[in-house]
Structure 1
């Protein structure tokens, strides 16, 4: 057996047992993938997959156990590569970050800039996506660290830690009648055309849950993932906006929009930092996590990861 066979089996499971997609992802041929999987099954003496003709239909019971072992082996292979990088290039490499738009736009610029000052030889690669896409990039090891609010803590295979709390705010033109109201009610908001995030982004589920609990049907007239886009349409008079407080943090006083905190209606949201469970984290990944929040430090992260990769300067 060999790593190529393991990689083919692992990718086939990830691609929903579609051998065509598996071959494309691994830049090889479909017959080559099929042959490698069959050879591994013959060597192990068990069927990893059931088949209908040449098509894979499902993962067998022993196949599930094989996949668990393969995942562990491939994770350790990745760790070996990172260890080599760590000790051959102590202060250089690539930090790959996966984040939602709000995190990338409002929360990450200062920590990224601070990291580059400390590690000028580290190149930063930023990937933006939905929380589910952030999780997938971490699991696929195309990202070292992820950051999101919605649902990322529910994903198996990830270690997530609270990074910071934030609330939604109402944004509206100064001339709007609700601008004179310090604490608008859900009923008042439901009576207005609303502009806010798409359902998978930036705490939108908490907003929907608050309206549903009061049996209110809000009138969302526009949804987007970008807070700046939402604010633009509010300025154009399309509706009043519900956005993350980070999006108005740097707005100048006396500008085109005013804001009102809405934490008393929608509660507090928790943005979390995430890592693949068992992954080897290089020194500059730990440093970047510490730059993200005072809540995070190497000891806490290593303990959460169940890791024994601490260095001489690391004390629990």
Structure 2
């Protein structure tokens, strides 16, 4: 063979981390070893697979993305072949999970603890991403699997739907609408609307109001979900959100409440996404099954008005 499995593994690590230094640390090899492997692959093809950046950063070329897809398939097949030697061995390996930044704190640590208890030889690197970056990370190979809402993902990915959620209103605990069983968007539109300044997120929320033919009196954007909750709790306005943390208390200790929205609105899906052209490794397949099981046990149904149930303890 003109290409070696070691070279392919090194190139995949460089694509995954976007940085030769980080890739070398993850693989416990020297940075020149990673660089040499990339050079050898590029000499074999006679084309660049990476664009080098200052500070040891790298990004895939369009041709490099095609190479990475095929390399993943080759290594997944080799892994499956090696597994035939011991059909009792537990899956092992590593991959990168990209998770939408507001969703990650509520589910990823618990899922990883569950995975570690069953499959200790699987290593998952987590990258928090925004709606504007998570799709690109899947495309360029920096992320192997994405966990996100169904916003901003390219049409080329395969998806597994984990659950569907209805939007809910966030209100100060002593707000006049807080005692209601449900509130309408028309009522919420009379209040200042606090939104997160995340690409596609605030546009999606405004579209919900547009669907009901109403417009918020005033809209204010914040940088994060937790700042949004704190602004609501401190009487700067109301919010519409899908994320449902366990406690109804903001970071600064102020109470707030969640109320269902009475208008018929489309549900938002939480899903796993992965490149449909790439073969999933054994480690990725068992991870997907663990994520599906966690959501089936913990996350609420669309009709539920309460936060999700206490998760089961990891094995």
Same fold judged by TM-score > 0.5? yes
| Matching of residue 230 in structure 1 with residue 228 in structure 2 | yes
1:77 aligns to what?
Answer: 71
Extract structure 1 runs of 4+ deviating beyond 6 A. Answer: none
Counterparts in 2 of 1:1-316, with a 5 A limit? 3-4=41-42, 8=47, 22-24=51-53, 72-84=66-78, 87=82, 91-153=91-153, 155-198=154-197, 200=199, 204-224=202-222, 226-247=224-245, 249-251=246-248, 256-262=255-261, 264-294=263-293
Checking the alignment, whether the CA contact within 8 Å between 1:206 and 1:266 is kept in structure 2 is no
Q: Secondary structure at the match of 2:106?
A: helix
Q: Name the TM-score, length of structure 1 as normaliser.
A: 0.65
Structure ID, larger Rg: 1
Change (3 A) 1:191 1:122: same
Residues 191-236 of structure 1, C-alpha deviations (whole Å, 9 max, x = no match): 101112335355x444222322344321454324632221111122
More displaced 10-residue stretch of structure 1: 275-284 or 78-87: 78-87
1:47 aligns to what?
Answer: none
Q: Secondary structure at the match of 1:267?
A: coil
Checking the alignment, whether the CA contact within 8 Å between 2:185 and 2:263 is kept in structure 1 is no
- C-alpha displacement of 1:280: 2.5
1-structure distance, mates of 2:212, 2:105: 33
1-structure distance, mates of 2:224, 2:118: 30
Root-mean-square deviation (Å): 3.6
Q: Secondary structure at the match of 2:226?
A: helix
Q: Secondary structure at the match of 1:293?
A: helix
* Residue ranges of structure 1 left out of the alignment (5+ in a row): 12-21, 29-36, 38-66, 297-316
- C-alpha displacement of 1:3: 4.1
1:54 aligns to what?
Answer: none
Residues 86-139 of structure 1, C-alpha deviations (whole Å, 9 max, x = no match): 648964332310011122122322211111111223222111112341122222
2:22 aligns to what?
Answer: none
Number of residue pairs matched? 245
Residues 242-262 of structure 1, C-alpha deviations (whole Å, 9 max, x = no match): 222423x4448xx81111012
Checking the alignment, whether the CA contact within 8 Å between 2:198 and 2:223 is kept in structure 1 is no
* Residue ranges of structure 2 left out of the alignment (5+ in a row): 3-39, 84-88, 296-315
- C-alpha displacement of 1:189: 0.9
Checking the alignment, whether the CA contact within 8 Å between 1:98 and 1:145 is kept in structure 2 is yes
Q: Name the TM-score, length of structure 2 as normaliser.
A: 0.65
2-structure distance, mates of 1:295, 1:264: 29
Change (3 A) 1:269 1:149: same
